């Protein structure tokens, strides 16, 4: 089965207004740059987006915030995006902040068909407000529900026409989990190869999870926050 589509615009053609999306990446590392830009061009709005963070104010998911296409963010860290902060404080953006480990496990559970799980993270804090809690042994736990989405947008280093994916180093991050937890998974890759060219032992996401795949272009691979070591004066 050939799952290749022409480009990002064709890949997101049926994402409707109001859709729920999982978007891979950590900071600006491993984000599906082409798919985000295609959504911006299409103008799809009222989106609920699950992503570790919302990029920066001028790149990544920040592009969709700038055009007011995101209605709600489910995230773990948003400290590098002043546009996100402004929209949240003005009541223009709904936000659900989730502890990072809990966020990862909620996605993994969604992909595994597990409805909910108990975790000690967040017990006794606002994270536990309105949620069931139980005691196991000498610790208290909070019930967290799984996360699933209509579409997952993921970025991989290499992929074949059957949808098998290989990620590169830390760009792997949330992408493999999200690929399993959506009704439709769309993958953009830097290198598109033929079936058999990937070592089966190195495949991180089996093609059974991937609905569409295409070769991306013009990757910027920005650095979220560049820092420099102070000169020692010599």
Mean pLDDT of the region 160-165: 98
CB 21 within 8 A of CB 150: yes
The overall average pLDDT reported for the chain is: 95
- Taken in order of first residue, the domains within the chain and their CATH numbers are 8-113+147-215 (3.40.1080.10)
**111 Cβ partners below 8 Å, 6+ apart?**
148, 177, 179, 180, 181
CA gap 86, 93 in Å, rounded: 9
- The DSSP secondary structure of 163-215, one letter per residue, reads --EE--GGGGTTHHHHHHSEEEEEEEEEEEE-TTSS-GGG-SB-GGG-SEEEE
- Per-residue pLDDT band at 228 (split at 50, 70, 90): confident
Question: Is the model's pTM score more than 0.85?
Answer: yes
CA gap 88, 150 in Å, rounded: 24
CA gap 17, 222 in Å, rounded: 28
Mean pLDDT of the region 159-186: 97
pLDDT of 232 over the 90 cut: no
- For the record, the structure tokens of 180 come out as 């399993």
pLDDT of residue 156: 98
CA gap 47, 58 in Å, rounded: 18
Mean pLDDT of the region 205-233: 86
pLDDT of residue 97: 94
Q: What is the pLDDT of residues 111-139, one digit of tens each?
A: 999 999 999 999 999 999 999 999 999 99
pLDDT of 234 over the 70 cut: no
- Taking phi over 0 as left and psi of -120 to 50 as alpha, with beta for the rest, 60 belongs to left
DSSP label at residue 152: E
Q: What is the pLDDT of residues 1-28, one digit of tens each?
A: 789 999 999 999 999 999 999 999 998 9
Question: What is the signed CA dihedral for 79, 83, 88, 94, rounded to 10 degrees?
Answer: -90
Q: What is the pLDDT of residues 31-90, one digit of tens each?
A: 999 999 999 999 999 999 999 999 998 999 999 999 999 999 999 988 778 999 999 999
What percentage of the chain carries pLDDT values higher than 90?
Answer: 89
- Per-residue pLDDT band at 233 (split at 50, 70, 90): low
DSSP label at residue 30: T
pLDDT of 172 over the 60 cut: yes
């Amino acid at each position: 089965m050939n799952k290749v589509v022409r480009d990002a615009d064709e890949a997101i053609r049926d994402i409707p207004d109001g859709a729920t999306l999982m978007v891979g990446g950590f900071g600006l590392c491993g984000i599906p740059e082409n798919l985000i830009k295609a959504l911006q061009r299409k103008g799809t709005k009222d989106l609920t987006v699950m992503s570790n963070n919302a990029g920066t104010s001028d790149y990544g998911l920040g592009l969709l915030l700038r055009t007011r296409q995101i209605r709600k963010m489910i995230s773990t860290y948003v400290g590098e995006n002043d546009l996100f902060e402004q929209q949240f404080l003005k009541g223009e953006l709904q936000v659900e902040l989730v502890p990072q480990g809990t966020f990862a496990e909620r996605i993994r559970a969604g992909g595994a068909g597990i409805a909910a799980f108990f975790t000690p993270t967040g017990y006794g804090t606002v994270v536990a407000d309105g949620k069931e809690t139980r005691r196991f042994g000498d610790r208290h736990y909070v019930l967290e529900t799984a996360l699933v989405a209509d579409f997952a947008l993921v970025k991989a280093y290499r992929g074949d026409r059957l949808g098998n994916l290989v990620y590169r180093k830390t760009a792997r991050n949330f992408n493999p989990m999200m690929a399993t937890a959506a009704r439709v998974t769309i993958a953009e890759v830097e290198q598109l190869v033929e079936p058999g060219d990937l070592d089966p032992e190195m495949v991180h996401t089996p093609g059974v999870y991937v609905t569409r795949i295409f070769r991306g272009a013009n990757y910027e691979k920005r650095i979220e926050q560049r820092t420099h070591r102070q000169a020692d004066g010599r």
